[in-house]
Amino acid sequence: MNVTDETSKTTLEESIGEWRAYLRRRQAIHKVDVAELEDHLRSQIHGLVDAGLSDDEAFLVAVKRIGDLDTLSREFAREYSDRLWKQLVVSPEAGPSPEGRKEAIVAVALAIASAVAIKLPELFGFHMSAPITETSFYVRNFSLFVLPLLAGYFAWKRTVDRAGRIWLAIPFVAAVLAVNIFPFDGRGHTLILAAIHLPIALWLAVGYAYIGGRWGDHYRRMDFVRFSGEWFIYYILIALGGGVLMAFTMFIFQAIGFDAEELVASWVMPCGVVGAVIISAWLVEAKKSVIENMAPVLTRLFTPLFTVVLFAFLATMVWTGSAINVEREVLIGFDLLLVVVLGLLLYSISARDPHSPPGVFDVLQLVLVVSALLVDAVALWAITARISEFGFSPNKVAALGENLVLLVNLGWSTVLYTRFLAGHASFTSLERWQTAYLPVFAVWAWVVVLVFPPLFGYR
């Protein structure tokens, strides 16, 4: 090998290195894919050099044949919708697109419609501020002012076909009929329970619209889980901003001797609460990449903290020997604990690259889930004893049912996670378990909405 060959080899390596670095910057193309493409590039170059081309000629031809990297990364992003949501990848077409503007108009119009919807019943003598016992209209219907519009937004955006739209309408019609026809006892628990569970039940209907009616598609379901998490973050951010805005409104109007509290409480607040539901959804759709980094950060931050708290709790309980003081709120508190842990788990699943091998954080995640299960088992044991002593009430049954639903989910997640860490299963099996489990939440929520009231005599 002479000197010129030597130099040309180094320049070729440099060129390939630059090409690799350029490719690595695309988020849709992961490290393993880059390795695969690089192997392709090198094989191609090798073949061309054998055919008589010089190194740099071969490099240029090979790069050209692999194709335009923008198109390629767009193609990868399309293939991996879980990477697509990091939309930065798909380099935006120049300028704001007319579709984007149209979507913004639709979203804002729907947000205004939801604000109108929530104020409209007041014209007919239903008042938001009235005590729950007197007029339960708003309590019964509050999730029905905005969620149908949200479902409509996605049905429009995903162009759900006619059959799909009919399927989509069924849960909403059922909900309207059930909550308004059931002769609820105004002071009863079943009304409140139905009102709390209805948004959960309908959220899954929104999910049906979100995935464009293709319920069987595991990846789209996972996208919906991801969307729900992002939506939640956006909603909280908007709520915080809205709170600051309302506080300032009241403060500055007070300075000129004008009491704006009534205006804020009866107009700005309810309209904002429903409008923000749509706006958050639209923001998640339009600006996916902004929040993209939030979910991993939140899980990385709170998974260790929650784990520490749960361990401290278990240790204290064992150390002091004190039993869980079973009040009614306790069970709900432990349900919420499981919800938070499940939320952390889902965030981390959705933010994780399913192809990367198990790491330290996965172990930590597993420890968190296991410790939550232990804490919950203790609570559940105490509460079952309590129920067998004092009998069933709608609240207890609902809380217990939720606990079981979450326990089954987390329990099997633990098994799958352990198998993944032991190298016996892929991470995808855990994802699939979570997406397959989604209908269970919906079914339980619907049971509480539709079956509980008659079962417990509407009390």
Which of 29-37, 369-377, 393-401, 432-440 is the region at the interface with another protein (rule: CB under 8 A)? 29-37
Out of 37, 110, 211, 375, the only residue in the binding site for another protein (CB under 8 A) is: 37
- The verdict on 42 binding another protein (CB under 8 A) reads yes
Out of 5, 10, 11, 35, the only residue in the binding site for another protein (CB under 8 A) is: 35
- The verdict on 5 binding another protein (CB under 8 A) reads no
- The verdict on 67 binding another protein (CB under 8 A) reads yes
- The verdict on 80 binding another protein (CB under 8 A) reads yes
Residue 266 near residue 129, CB atoms below 8 Å = yes
Out of 75, 122, 185, 292, the only residue in the binding site for another protein (CB under 8 A) is: 75
Residue 431 near residue 438, CB atoms below 8 Å = no
Residue 343 near residue 230, CB atoms below 8 Å = no
For the window 247-286, what string marks contact with another protein as x by the rule CB under 8 A?
A: ----------------------------------------
Out of 2, 71, 322, 388, the only residue in the binding site for another protein (CB under 8 A) is: 71
Which of 31-39, 196-204, 224-232, 373-381 is the region at the interface with another protein (rule: CB under 8 A)? 31-39
Q: Which residues contact 208 (CB under 8 A, 6 or more apart)?
A: 151, 164, 167, 168, 215
In the complex, the smallest distance separating the C-beta of residue 20 from another protein, rounded to whole angstroms, is: 13
- The verdict on 6 binding another protein (CB under 8 A) reads no
Out of 13, 14, 79, 259, the only residue in the binding site for another protein (CB under 8 A) is: 79
Q: Would you give the distance in Å from CA 145 to the centre of its chain? A: 21
Which of 36-44, 111-119, 299-307, 332-340 is the region at the interface with another protein (rule: CB under 8 A)? 36-44
Out of 11, 43, 91, 293, the only residue in the binding site for another protein (CB under 8 A) is: 43
- The verdict on 44 binding another protein (CB under 8 A) reads yes
Out of 60, 66, 290, 421, the only residue in the binding site for another protein (CB under 8 A) is: 66
What residues numbered 146-175 form the site for another protein, per CB under 8 A? none
In the complex, the smallest distance separating the C-beta of residue 33 from another protein, rounded to whole angstroms, is: 7
Number of residues counted as binding another protein (CB under 8 A): 25
CB of 29 or CB of 375, closer to another protein: 29
The Cα 72–Cα 176 span in angstroms is 48
Which of 28-36, 173-181, 200-208, 235-243 is the region at the interface with another protein (rule: CB under 8 A)? 28-36
Out of 39, 57, 329, 353, the only residue in the binding site for another protein (CB under 8 A) is: 39
- The verdict on 243 binding another protein (CB under 8 A) reads no
Out of 40, 187, 287, 424, the only residue in the binding site for another protein (CB under 8 A) is: 40
Residue ranges binding another protein (CB under 8 A): 32-33, 35-40, 42-44, 46-47, 65-69, 71-72, 75-76, 78-80
